Structure 1
Amino acid sequence: MKELRIQYGALPVTEHLGEPMVMLVTSRGTGRWIIPKGRPEKGVAPHKLAQREAWEEAGLIGRIGRNPIGRFVHPKRKADGTTVRCEIEVFRLDVDEELTDWPEKGQRERCWCTVSEAIEKVGKHSLAKLLLRFENCT
């Protein structure tokens, strides 16, 4: 597992009754709870790509930070069964609008959760450490 892939993700954030809430989506393959993310594209800034992934995967429109709030690494299983390491650079997305229709609706579930609930949903995934750091900073 020497190969390293870079991806860019969005941590969608809103506030409910004074408490920060984050949105998770399910992955298409395993149904695990994750954040919207995607591979780099030539000519697209990392934060803009993360913003677009939040729209495509979760139907969210909002203001994306230009600077990453953190990163995490996790193994990703490829179609041929091999595994590669993925490093996901994460940008905060302050959500302004939640659409009722979006490109990947029907392919994923989405869920607003407290940060503590999100940490439980992602389990031992390294995303949990990023969420814990985020919770300690809010």
Structure 2
Amino acid sequence: MKKAKRKTGEKRSQIAAMPIRRAADGSTELLLVTSRTTRRWIVPKGWPMKGVKDRDAAAQEAYEEAGVLGRVSEKPAGRYSYWKRMSDHFALCEVKLYLLEVEQQHADFREQHQRDLHWFKLADAADIVDEPELSTAIRKLQAQVSLAA
């Protein structure tokens, strides 16, 4: 079966989890992981999975990339676009973000030797990620959390 050719400039879809937890001081923290190639701080993300709801695919990525399990939001909590480095070109990707309220964090997980991970306060997470639209999405989450407190 032939692969469908993608139009030049067409955005590719990705899904991501925003793993969050409540810190001892009552603040909300976001778990970031490093990308495997450039070692930038990112949220766990990947390609949609055939036959799997996007929210469940985002939760699966969070487990594979960061070893976390929890409750995932029904609907996307935001979106952002970025340029993904492919082997021979860059692809414009639009990422749907799903909140994942972390209930368990495992020490052993599939990509544990390929990535670093760290819990950040939301403001710090927004400052440390490279993608401007992801930073904006994290700041919007921070504003929502502040309003709910």
Scaled by the length of structure 2, what TM-score is found?
0.89
Amino acid at match of 2:94: E
Residue 12 (1) aligns with residue 19 (2)? yes
After TM superposition, list the pairs within 5 Å mapping 1:91-110 onto structure 2. Answer: 91-110=98-117
> Structure 1, unaligned stretches of length 5 or more?
none
2-structure distance, mates of 1:78, 1:103: 22
1-structure distance, mates of 2:40, 2:133: 13
Task: Describe the superposition over 1:63-104 as per-residue Cα deviations: whole angstroms up to 9, x where unpaired.
Answer: 101111000000111101x11110000000000011010000
1-structure distance, mates of 2:10, 2:77: 24
**RMSD, aligned α-carbons:** 1.0
The Cα of 1:120 is off from its aligned counterpart by 1.5
- When Rg is computed on C-alpha atoms for both structures, the one with the higher figure is 2
The Cα of 1:124 is off from its aligned counterpart by 4.9
2-structure distance, mates of 1:90, 1:117: 18
Q: 1:65 aligns with which of 53, 73, 98?
A: 73
Amino acid at match of 1:110: L
Amino acid at match of 1:60: V
Scaled by the length of structure 1, what TM-score is found?
0.96
2:4 corresponding residue in structure 1: none
2:121 corresponding residue in structure 1: 114
1-structure distance, mates of 2:52, 2:117: 25
Q: 2:59 aligns with which of 28, 51, 58?
A: 51
The Cα of 1:126 is off from its aligned counterpart by 2.0
Give the conservation status (yes or no) of the 8 Å contact 2:85–2:91: yes
Residue 26 (1) aligns with residue 34 (2)? yes
The Cα of 1:125 is off from its aligned counterpart by 3.3
Amino acid at match of 2:19: P
> Structure 2, unaligned stretches of length 5 or more?
1-7
